[in-house]
Amino acid sequence: MSAIAAPHAGTHPVRAWSGVPVLLGVLLLAFLLHIAVGAKQLSLGTVIEALFNFDQTVFDHVIVRNLRLPRAVLAVLVGASLSLAGALMQGVTRNPLADPALLGLTSGAAFAVVIATSVLGLSSMVFIPWIAMLGALGAALIVYLIARLVPGGATPLSLTLSGAAISAFLSAVISVVHLLDQDTFENLRVWLTGGLAGRDITLLLYVGPPIALALIGGVLLAPRVTVLAMGDEVAQGLGVKTGALKIQLLAVVVVLTACSVALAGPLGFIGLVIPHIVRLYVGSDYRWIVPYAALAGAIYLLGVDTIARIAIPPREISTGIITAMIGAPLFVQLVRRRTR
């Protein structure tokens, strides 16, 4: 990451964009590496060959195409989504501790998926992303309505507090569902710790397009987020329609968070920490934080998932556990080095 050599390069677009090709290079490398390592080690050459010159009679090529490539794509999408959503949330709420889980989005999505699959017995994967989105949006609306009832209205503080309360409540309900229904518990146990293993890859077909649209939308809206972070009145004075912008940003965050939950379960840490790591290098202008956070989030999840797959062979650790176990010390170290 030290390759981004232009800290606080906000108003010098040429310098500020200079880190992008570097990160894209790192992303490509992490992507290929993620595919190459595993129970059967493949050479990078084999991986590239399988990607660009596929031969279905070669067993290694089949492994790459059918098993490993989808999982790597999943890691890129989920990592980028959670990190970008977290960056947007931190900007809109002016809360450095904000993450995609803040307004109850993650637990709302998880709750809806759990209820749909266990209580309603829904098994078709096609609907999972939409159910997750409905759950996330529903939770966000409830959080907002509760915050409105607080004297003083929906302030960042009242939103955060009611978000925490709703999240805790929904998590408790998910636990109750588990205790009552041992079978679904077994099915969802791994999913709820967050992970990329054994995902139904056909989900990508349904979740990929909305995620791609939301990622593009997030990057396009990013310059306005800095203006919005200076307060509603400043933003309105500069000609930003703050109400419409907040709804657009909420839509982007809901889509990214819900689709990530549908794909990989409620993965924590990435949305909170990756934007802060990016901030250490590119400064506080969301124009740069947002695109860099998406790239860094994708790289991070690829790296973490690679480790999750090879740490204790032949078993695999849940990615959601590794994200924080590796990420927390890494984050502390980075902050210490930058502030010294």
Partner 1 sequence: MSGSATTQRTLRLEGIGLSVGYGGSTVLDNVDLAIPTGEITILIGPNGCGKSTLLKAMARILTPTRGSVLLDGKDIHRLDTKSVAARLGLLPQGPIAPEGLTVRELVAQGRFPHQTLLRQWSRTDEDAVNGAMDIAGITDFADRSVDTLSGGQRQRCWVAMVLAQETDLILLDEPTTFLDLKVQVDLMDLLAGLAHQRGRTLVIVLHELSLAAAYADYLVMMKEGHIVATGTPDEIFTAGRLKEVFGLDAKVLRDPDSGRMVCVPSGTRMRRAAPVTAQ
Positions in the binding site for partner 1 (CB under 8 A): 8, 10-11, 13, 91, 94, 96, 220, 223-224, 226-227, 229-231, 233-234, 236-241, 279, 283-285
> Residue 205 or 238: which CB sits closer to partner 1?
238
* Cis peptide leading into residue 156 (ω within 30°): no
Q: How far is the CB of 304 from partner 1 (least distance, A)?
A: 26
Alpha helices by DSSP H, 12-68: 13-17, 19-36, 44-52, 59-62
**Cβ–Cβ < 8 Å for 300, 179:** no
Q: Bin 6: left if φ > 0, else alpha if -120 < ψ < 50, else beta.
A: beta
Give the nearest distance from C-beta 233 to partner 1 in angstroms. Answer: 4
Mind giving me the DSSP string for 105-131? Answer: HHHHHHHHHHIIIIIS----GGGHHHH
Helix (H) and strand (E) counts in the chain: 15, 0
Among residues 311, 146, 310, 286, the alpha carbon closest in space to that of 220 is found at 286
Complex with partner 1: residue 99 or 285, whichever CB lies closer: 285
Closest contact distance (angstroms) between CB of 258 and partner 1 is 26
Cβ-based nearer residue to partner 1, 45 or 237: 237
Q: Is the CB of 6 or the CB of 165 nearer to partner 1?
A: 6
In the complex, what is the shortest distance from the CB of residue 330 to partner 1, in angstroms, rounded to a whole number? 20
CB of 272 to partner 1, least distance (A): 16
Nearer to partner 1, 239 or 314 (CB): 239
Q: DSSP per residue over 280-328, as a string?
A: HHH-S-HHHHHHHHHHHHHHHHHHHHHHHHHSSTTS---HHHHHHHHHH
Q: How far is the CB of 227 from partner 1 (least distance, A)?
A: 5
Of 183 and 233, CB closest to partner 1:
233
